[in-house]
Amino acid sequence: MPSIVGTFPGQPEPIHFRIKRGYDKTEVSGKEWLQVEGILTHSLCSSKVELVRFKNCDLSVGFFPRAVACFPNLIRLDLEGSHFTVLPECIQEFRFLQKLYVDYCMYLEEIRGIPPCLTYFSALSCKSLSPRSISFLHNQELHENGKACFVIPGETIPGWFEHRSRGGSISFWFRGNSFPGNALLVAILLKDDIQYYPILVTPTVTVNGKEVSFGFRTCEMEELFVFNMSSANFDYIEAASFENEWNHAEISYKVKQIFLMFDEGTSSRYPYYIPQGEDYFDVSTDKVAREIGIHLLKQKSSSIREDIRFTSPYK
């Protein structure tokens, strides 16, 4: 039976609750799902709810419009391991949604919209996505606002990335005493023969040989990670080792892997794994890195393009 955990209306702190079925079950029964539907339509509908997790649930066609109506001010929605085939256009009606997780949604085929204020979208192991939906997630216009980080499927870096490099690092030159992170979009592509997933990636920035970035949290990824280098995602040591003229910058990333333990009784649609204490281990980036790319955002590049070079200005 789904469990409900969290705080409720009338309390001073933001409301959080979770509906989660047991790992020993292969599906949510009709009786249990009626209880979930009842929660959506009666008990917990509130404009104060900010975080909702529906893990391993069978979600009906009517789930998304009901969720939009119940939780208009939602900030985070986690549908990890749930069973549904379409992320409908009405998902865009979550005007304040910042984080959306559809990891391990093995039957998800179509993505027809993305909330307008999204800052993080993760679709780990969404193996059933149609070519049209993957193309939608790779569309340049979706990423041009530079606000969101996307963990998405993909065998290649989108063709509109102007500068690419094989392996796990890429460099460029910029002029001035401020790192132009707001103008840069970065794509990391991993090899397709990695033994363990997910990979834990931490991007780093060095300028003139000195690391100047800190504060970016580790991201779980499998294939493609597209993110903005802005100060919203990174903290920079401003002018720490910058020259007045051209500075050489390198973007790379550190990698960790984790041992996974699978529960044989769990449905293969959702891999159940447990971190084994300190079983995170460092991995050479060269073993997992396939390609990395940089794109200059349109809205920023017109004023800064002359101050960024992808080839040495001294040649």
Report the alpha-carbon distance of residue 225 to residue 198 in Å, rounded: 12
Rounded to an integer, what distance in angstroms lies between the CA atom of residue 146 and that of residue 226? 10
Number of domains in the chain: 1
Residue 134, domain member (yes or no): no
- Cβ atoms < 10 Å from Cβ of 124: 20
pLDDT at 60: 82
pLDDT for 282 equals: 79
Look at residue 288 and tell me if it is in a domain. yes
Terminal C-alpha separation, the chain:
67
Name the residue with tokens 């009626």.
34
Q: Nearest-5° angle of CA 249, CA 251, CA 257?
A: 155
Rounded-to-integer distance, Cα 133 and Cα 146, Å: 20
d(CA 115, CA 68): 11
Cβ(246)–Cβ(314) below 8 Å: yes
Residue 171 lies inside a defined structural domain of this protein? yes
In a domain, 250, yes or no: yes
Note whether residue 208 is domain-resident: yes
Domain range spanning residue 239? Answer: 158-315
Instruction: Please count the CA atoms within 13 angstroms of the CA of 106 that sit on its side-chain side.
Output: 9
Residue 227 within any structural domain of the chain: yes
Residue showing tokens 């040495």: 312
Q: Is the pTM of this model over 0.75?
A: yes
pLDDT (0 to 100) of residue 71:
85
274 backbone dihedrals φ, ψ, rounded to 5° = -125, 120
Asked, for residue 184, whether it belongs to a domain, the answer is: yes
Can you give the pLDDT of all 315 residues of the chain as single tens digits? Answer: 333 333 334 444 444 445 444 433 223 333 344 444 555 655 556 677 788 888 888 888 888 998 898 888 899 999 988 889 999 999 999 999 999 999 999 999 999 999 999 999 999 989 999 999 999 999 999 998 767 899 999 999 999 999 999 999 999 999 987 888 888 999 999 988 776 667 888 888 888 888 887 656 667 888 999 998 876 666 666 555 677 689 999 999 988 876 554 444 443 333 334 344 445 677 888 888 999 999 999 876 667 778 899 999 987
